[in-house]
Structure 1
Amino acid sequence: MLNIFTITGNLLAETTATFDFPKEAQTVRAKGKELFQVGGKGINVAKAFFKLSKQKPYAIVFPAGFTGERCLHWMKEKKFATPIAVQIEGETRIGLVCENQKSKKQTTFLGSDIPVPTSAFDQAINKILKLAKKGDVIAFCGSFPNWKKSNTSKIVKLAKQKDLLLCVDTYAQPLLDFAQEDLFLLKINKKEFLTTFTQKALTEKTLSNVANKSKVKNIIVSNSSGKIFASLNGKIVSVNAPKIEREVSATGCGDAMFASLIYEITQKSSLENALKISIARASASAEISATSDWSEMRAKKLLKQIS
């Protein structure tokens, strides 16, 4: 059985509550019970992967302070992953999702990012080094405060040393660094594709040109509700996203797609089939509010639109 290691550099301690939205400078109490959960792209990917495989991935996290301990406790309680924690100084960022009781619209407030020291990152790499075996997957997910280019080299070196599949879904500086490396999979959105690879448009031709010059084996370019383009071991494919009944929340759809791609890869599915079912699962995820609670029956129904 292959091991999956998700890396989350930016944990989020998130509380969701419903309010009667007040005017400024007023105090208002939450209506009903508050919901606490842990976020961060790698956490979402771990949850979605567990839904599909019933196998707990290893979740590399960097908790800080009391809030970080609360996040760890929640992860252990939910039992969707095996946390591998490297403690850092500070206080894990908090998020408050405020739902308007009347309109049901949500407003989110996010706290400040906590920088991850190089020494903490090195500890995480050493933990993976001890546990990983040939063929395992590293999924580098989301933002990473205080990112250093040397971090990229360390992960790439680890992947080569242990013969691991390195899959990346990130942005900002980590994306710029990883895009130049020998990855198994890079998931990127249209805007990031254009800026990272200095292209004026996203077409099969521009993706082919990028793929021919890149060391990345598989590049998948998401495009919200538009056409998804991919270079799969040099083969260029494009897939239209299925039409969904009603979008409830697009947040986390990309995480569901990334987790599904990794799962299908571990199941030895063809890359093209892995892409299609992953698009269907992401679309099904958009019809609900929770990242990893989509219906597989609904996903397979949506798959018929793109098969």
Structure 2
Amino acid sequence: MTSRIVTVTLNAAIDKTYYLPEWRHGTVMRSERVLAAAGGKGINVARVLRHLGHASVTATGFAAGYNGRFIAEKVGEAGIVPDFVEAEGESRLCLNFIDGRDGASTEVLEPGPDIRSLDLEAMREKIRGAASGAALVIFSGSLPRGCPADFYAELIGIARDAGAEVFLDTSGAALAEGMKARPAFIKPNEDEIRPWMAGAAGGEDGFRQAAAALADQGIPNVAVTLGAEGAVAGAGGQLYRVRIPRLEAVNAVGSGDAFVAGFAYGYVRGWPVERSLRHAAAAGCANALSDAAGEVRPTDHERLLREIQVDVLA
């Protein structure tokens, strides 16, 4: 029986992607094509898990107003179980403008609803119930207004007490506080890892040192994603360098979420770290070849698996 994975998106969104012939500052532009999908980092993770073939995926988080109902509906249509906490206000829109000349992406992200104390308590109860019987709970994305900086740390403790393993993918104060709860996996990107590089060398050596330092703090699996340069990871006292092929990216938004999904897919199956990292990197690359965030074509993923290189570092 397939192990259930729960993704948590506290600041869920409608992701709208606009494809423009060219980006022109200060002018009226007409989009050639528009895509709208349920979004937010955890929902992207959930969708990629389904594309990779994981059968049992539940998505939770806060969903507010008309946008929240749209998000829950689209999640269900993707074969994911929607189990959101309804909040007042309106879930956010995240706008992504793609420049047709070079594929460059410009994003505008709304802040999302204001979360009240009763919503926080409802989320605690939701996580307690959702984590019971789940193999893994993945917390992803920013905290909406009204959530304390240590809310992820609190929810991680609740999920772990209910018997689930926990991943965390966030940034800033939410990451710093959340790491205190010792999640089994974190995935900062090259910008998010910089606060932990103080005194370290720049470039790849600095990323290696930061990954090793975070692993030493009691987090078993740390992956620092480096965009087109792949990733550096630390796990079980060992460092790994993940190299990816050169790609003609269509839309790289969501590739970090796809990486988390790929690693989670292998993690719940007990795969070796190298295999899980290869699966993760192939998912991230495959996402970049799709129009929308959190979209992975299995054929792309299977092809890219053969092109990912994972090296053990001395």
TM-score class normalised by the smaller sequence: 0.7 to 0.9
CA change 1:284–1:163 in 2 (3 A) is: same
**Which one of the candidate residues 221, 225, 232 is aligned to 2:224?**
221
Q: Which sits farther off after the overlay, 147-156 or 270-279?
A: 147-156
* 1:16 and 1:36 in contact (8 A); partners too: yes
Pairs within 5 Å for 1:140-179: 140-146=139-145, 147-179=147-179
CA change 1:160–1:199 in 2 (3 A) is: farther
Matched, 1:284 2:283: no
Q: Which sits farther off after the overlay, 121-130 or 287-296?
A: 287-296
* TM-score of the superposed pair, with normalisation by structure 1: 0.85
Q: What is the match of residue 188 of structure 2?
A: 188
Matched, 1:71 2:74: no
- State the secondary structure of the residue aligned to 1:190: coil
How far apart are residue 13 of structure 1 and its match?
2.0
* 1:218 and 1:234 in contact (8 A); partners too: no
Matched, 1:207 2:211: yes
Letter in 2 for 1:216: I
How far apart are residue 205 of structure 1 and its match?
4.4
* TM-score of the superposed pair, with normalisation by structure 2: 0.84
CA change 1:50–1:211 in 2 (3 A) is: same
Q: What is the match of residue 8 of structure 2?
A: 7
Q: Distance in 1 between matches of 2:268 and 2:275?
A: 13
Structure 1 residue runs of 5 or longer lacking an equivalent are none
For these two proteins, the number of residue pairs brought into alignment is 302
CA change 1:197–1:175 in 2 (3 A) is: farther
* 1:48 and 1:291 in contact (8 A); partners too: no
CA change 1:53–1:236 in 2 (3 A) is: same
Q: Distance in 1 between matches of 2:62 and 2:8?
A: 9
CA change 1:301–1:79 in 2 (3 A) is: closer
Q: Distance in 2 between matches of 1:94 and 1:227?
A: 29
- State the secondary structure of the residue aligned to 1:94: strand
Q: Distance in 1 between matches of 2:168 and 2:218?
A: 13
* 2:131 and 2:159 in contact (8 A); partners too: no
Q: Distance in 1 between matches of 2:191 and 2:31?
A: 37
Letter in 1 for 2:13: L
Q: What is the match of residue 51 of structure 1?
A: 51
Structure 2 residue runs of 5 or longer lacking an equivalent are none
CA change 1:114–1:270 in 2 (3 A) is: same
**Which one of the candidate residues 272, 275, 281 is aligned to 1:273?**
275
CA shift digits 1:22-67 (9 cap, x unpaired): 89576x77657x5321211111111001111342411112122222
Q: Matched residues, percent identical?
A: 22
- State the secondary structure of the residue aligned to 2:228: coil
How far apart are residue 268 of structure 1 and its match?
1.7
How far apart are residue 258 of structure 1 and its match?
0.4
Letter in 1 for 2:119: A
Q: Distance in 2 between matches of 1:298 and 1:272?
A: 20
Q: Distance in 2 between matches of 1:13 and 1:113?
A: 11
CA change 1:183–1:95 in 2 (3 A) is: closer
CA RMSD of aligned residues (A): 2.8
CA change 1:170–1:209 in 2 (3 A) is: closer
* 2:12 and 2:62 in contact (8 A); partners too: yes
